[in-house]
């Protein structure tokens, strides 16, 4: 049942109105002052407010303002007597749904009320829908409605609670660390540390002491004992980022920790045991690294208990819009400034769809953050985007650089060859993947590789 709150300082008027509206099937509440009305609104789900204009202490306009501060969408109808029509106009400007002149007849009132309540219901439903959509299209702060992302959410949901080792693969900026954190914070270890190590950031001997710690005097400069990340992560999660860069020597040591759960600090003999969950990430195809003999097979299978592959952004363009909105509101919240940006205009949006996003979600986030600083209006425009970005879209073929008398066949063949070379490079010569990237069949690709005499090693 829809609820109407009637506010009037007169005694009888609210009673009469209430009787009329109850007859029509509404549930009514009455208040004899603005303060009382606000109190009722605080505790009751009201669909419409019907308020008198002239009241002592808080008048109709003031009440309206207070209501709009709290709930933009709640409709308010002002009841005004002759002589206060100018006030009614002011109320409309301040967001009143409509006004009705006293005295009014019952039918007129009922029409107004029904209309306003109908609108209120639609607004509420939409709001609910928006919230549902938000829930459905995100997992914590990971956004995505594409099938691949939805499947990843499902995997996270399933494996987070366990202590299973997880291997996350994906290009830089696709959200590997975000997923790793989400696995940690949705596990029983969430109150214990999440410790990240970037395996590519340090030289081998430094990394070793960073991971396992060292005893005092283990090497020149080791003036005190230091705990490593394995120890610091005890009880929690250790995130090994860029695991593909781990040296052979450290691969052996890591394997031992995974198998026996013990290790020694550098320069030490005491065995230290830890309880940690390992999550590893890499921007390489670790299986290729293994096949090429650069990554230990036994370690690969130890890590690859659950495998999550994050898609590149241009393979899930249906998520672009959501991500853009997400980052806009993220930076709005962070700055708490009066940024009025609501979204991106259609021209800029088209550019976003055409762009290849080599830096994936991280790049998108940076582009939005930068544009929000530059943007003057309420929509991000092409002029707010970085130059390289625009040029990359428009001039990626450098069409102007092709001489006017260039022969079509030769020129197209040249472009074709370059695209194939790039696809092979990106996929490290895995032809099935390169063919998929180019949107052609595997045999077609194979034929073109021969035609252009491309060197692809021995892989298929
Ligand atoms: N699906 C996503 N939804 C929301 N933000 C994302 C998503 N994927 C990545 N990001 C954001 O992009 C940036 C890069 O993500 P990160 O996890 O560090 O990538 P990676 O570790 O793969 O390089 C971070 O700021 C992250 O919050
Ligand atoms: Mg990362």
CA-to-CA distance for 257 and 371, rounded, in angstroms? 46
CA-to-CA distance for 450 and 364, rounded, in angstroms? 38
* Statement to judge: residues 212 and 320 lie in one domain: no
* Statement to judge: residues 26 and 121 lie in one domain: yes
pTM tops 0.85: no
259 inside domain? yes
Ligand 1 atom nearest the C-alpha of 181 is 17
Sequence-distant (6+) residues with CB within 8 A of 303 are 165, 167, 243, 258, 278, 280, 286
151 inside domain? no
Domain stop point among 292, 311, 330: 311
| 37 in Cβ contact with 5 (< 8 Å) | yes
Question: Which position has the token pair 């100018």?
Answer: 86
* Statement to judge: residues 162 and 288 lie in one domain: yes
| 272-273 and 262-263 beta bridge pairing | antiparallel
* Statement to judge: residues 171 and 301 lie in one domain: yes
pLDDT for 388 equals 67
Ligand 1 atom nearest the C-alpha of 142 is 3
Tally of domains within the chain:
4
* Statement to judge: residues 377 and 332 lie in one domain: yes
* Statement to judge: residues 307 and 375 lie in one domain: no
Q: Is 176 in the pocket of ligand 1 (CB under 6 A)?
A: yes
pLDDT for 75 equals 92
Ligand 1 atom nearest the C-alpha of 138 is 3
Other C-beta atoms closer than 10 Å to the C-beta of 111 total 11
pLDDT for 391 equals 62
Nearest to 428 by CA among 232, 242, 287, 218: 287
Residue 87: give the domain boundaries: 3-134
| 197 in Cβ contact with 209 (< 8 Å) | no
pLDDT for 337 equals 61
* Statement to judge: residues 162 and 306 lie in one domain: yes
| 237-241 and 194-198 beta bridge pairing | parallel
* Statement to judge: residues 15 and 109 lie in one domain: yes
pLDDT in tens, the chain (460 residues): 889 999 999 888 889 999 999 999 999 999 999 999 999 999 888 999 999 998 988 999 999 999 998 888 899 999 988 777 788 888 888 889 888 888 888 888 898 899 888 877 777 776 766 666 666 788 888 999 999 999 999 999 989 988 899 999 999 999 999 999 999 999 889 889 999 999 998 899 899 999 999 999 988 888 999 999 999 999 999 999 999 999 999 999 999 999 998 999 999 999 999 999 999 999 999 999 999 999 999 999 999 999 999 999 989 988 999 999 999 988 887 876 667 788 898 888 888 888 889 899 999 999 999 999 888 888 999 889 988 666 654 444 556 566 777 788 888 888 898 889 988 888 888 899 889 888 899 999 999 999 998 887 754 4
Domain stop point among 290, 311, 332: 311
372 inside domain? yes
Using a CB cutoff of 5 Å, list residues around ligand 2, an ion.
177
CATH of the domain at 356: 1.10.8.60
| 92 in Cβ contact with 98 (< 8 Å) | yes
Cα 176 to middle of ligand 1, angstroms: 7
457 inside domain? no
Domain stop point among 99, 134, 169: 134
Q: Is 362 in the pocket of ligand 1 (CB under 6 A)?
A: yes
For a pocket test of ligand 1, which of 142, 144, 173 has the largest count of ligand atoms closer than 8 A to its C-beta? 173
CA-to-CA distance for 152 and 138, rounded, in angstroms? 11
* Statement to judge: residues 304 and 177 lie in one domain: yes
* Statement to judge: residues 297 and 322 lie in one domain: no
* Statement to judge: residues 302 and 328 lie in one domain: no
* Statement to judge: residues 298 and 410 lie in one domain: no
244 inside domain? yes
Q: Is 143 in the pocket of ligand 1 (CB under 6 A)?
A: yes
Q: Is 365 in the pocket of ligand 1 (CB under 6 A)?
A: yes
139 inside domain? no
Q: Is 174 in the pocket of ligand 1 (CB under 6 A)?
A: yes
pLDDT for 162 equals 85
171 inside domain? yes
For a pocket test of ligand 1, which of 145, 175, 359, 367 has the largest count of ligand atoms closer than 8 A to its C-beta? 175
3-state secondary structure string, the chain?
Answer: CCEEEEECCCCHHHHHHHHHHHHCCCEEEEECCHHHHHHHHHHCCCCEEEEECCCCCCCHHHHHHHHHHHCCCCCEEEEECCCCHHHHHHHHHCCCCEEEECCCCHHHHHHHHHHHHHHHHHHHHHHHHHHHHHHHCEECCEECCCHHHHHHHHHHHHHCCCCCCEEEECCCCCCHHHHHHHHHHCCCCCCCCEEEEECCCCCHHHHHHHHHEECCCCCCCCCCCEECHHHHCCCCEEEEECHHHCCHHHHHHHHHHHHHCEECCECCCCCEECCCEEEEEECCCHHHHHHCCCCCHHHHHHHCCEEEECCCHHHCHHHHHHHHHHHHHHHHHHHCCCCCCCEECHHHHHHHHHCCCCCHHHHHHHHHHHHHHHCCCCEECHHHCCHHHHHHHHCCCCHHHCCCCCCHHHHHHHHHHHHHHHHHHHCCCCHHHHHHHHCCCHHHHHHHHHHCCCCCCCCC
Q: Is 364 in the pocket of ligand 1 (CB under 6 A)?
A: no
CA-to-CA distance for 201 and 241, rounded, in angstroms? 10
User: Which ligand gives the minimal distance to the CA of 361?
Assistant: 1
Chain-centre distance for alpha carbon 63: 38
CATH of the domain at 38: 3.40.50.2300
Chain-centre distance for alpha carbon 333: 14
pLDDT for 103 equals 82
User: Which ligand gives the minimal distance to the CA of 180?
Assistant: 1
CATH of the domain at 432: 1.10.10
142 inside domain? no
CA-to-CA distance for 101 and 1, rounded, in angstroms? 27
């Amino acid at each position: 049942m829809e609820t109407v709150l009637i506010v009037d300082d007169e005694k009888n008027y609210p009673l009469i109105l209430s009787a009329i509206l109850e007859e029509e099937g509404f549930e009514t509440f009455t208040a004899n002052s603005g303060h009382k009305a606000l109190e009722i609104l605080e505790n009751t789900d009201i669909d419409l407010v019907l308020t008198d204009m002239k009241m002592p202490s808080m008048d109709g306009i003031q009440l309206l303002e207070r209501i709009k501060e709290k709930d933009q969408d709640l409709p308010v109808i002002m009841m005004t007597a002759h002589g206060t029509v100018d006030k009614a106009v002011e109320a409309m400007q301040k967001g009143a749904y409509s006004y009705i002149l006293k005295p009014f007849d019952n039918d007129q009132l009922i029409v107004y009320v029904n209309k306003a309540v109908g609108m209120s219901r639609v607004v509420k439903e939409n709001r609910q829908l928006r919230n549902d959509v938000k829930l459905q299209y995100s997992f914590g702060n990971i956004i995505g409605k594409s099938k691949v992302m939805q499947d990843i959410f499902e995997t996270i949901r399933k494996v987070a609670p366990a202590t299973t080792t997880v291997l996350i693969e994906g290009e830089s900026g696709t959200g590997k660390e975000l997923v790793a954190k989400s696995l940690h914070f949705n596990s029983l270890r969430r109150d214990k540390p999440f410790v990240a190590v970037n395996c590519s950031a340090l030289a081998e001997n430094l990394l070793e002491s960073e991971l396992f710690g060292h005893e005092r005097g283990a090497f020149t400069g080791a003036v005190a004992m230091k705990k490593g990340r394995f120890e610091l992560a005890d009880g929690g999660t250790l995130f090994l980022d860029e695991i593909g860069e781990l040296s052979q020597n450290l691969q052996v040591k890591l394997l031992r920790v995974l198998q026996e759960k013990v290790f020694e600090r550098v320069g030490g003999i005491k065995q230290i045991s830890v309880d940690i969950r390992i999550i590893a990430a890499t921007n390489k195809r670790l299986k290729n690294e293994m096949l090429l003999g650069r990554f230990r097979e036994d370690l690969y299978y130890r890590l690859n208990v659950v495998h999550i592959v994050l898609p590149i952004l241009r393979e899930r363009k249906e998520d672009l819009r959501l991500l853009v909105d997400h980052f806009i509101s993220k930076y709005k919240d962070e700055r708490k400034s009066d940024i009025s940006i609501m979204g991106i205009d259609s021209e800029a949006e088209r550019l976003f769809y055409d762009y290849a996003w080599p830096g994936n979600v991280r790049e998108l986030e940076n582009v939005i953050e930068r544009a929000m600083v530059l943007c003057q209006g309420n929509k991000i425009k092409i002029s707010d985007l970085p130059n390289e970005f625009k040029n990359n879209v428009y001039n990626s073929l450098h069409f102007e650089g092709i001489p006017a008398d260039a022969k079509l066949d030769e020129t197209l063949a040249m472009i074709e060859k370059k695209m194939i070379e790039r696809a092979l490079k990106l996929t490290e010569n895995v032809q099935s993947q390169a063919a998929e990237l180019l949107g052609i069949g595997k045999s077609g690709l194979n034929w073109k590789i021969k035609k252009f005499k491309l060197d692809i090693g021995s892989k298929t």
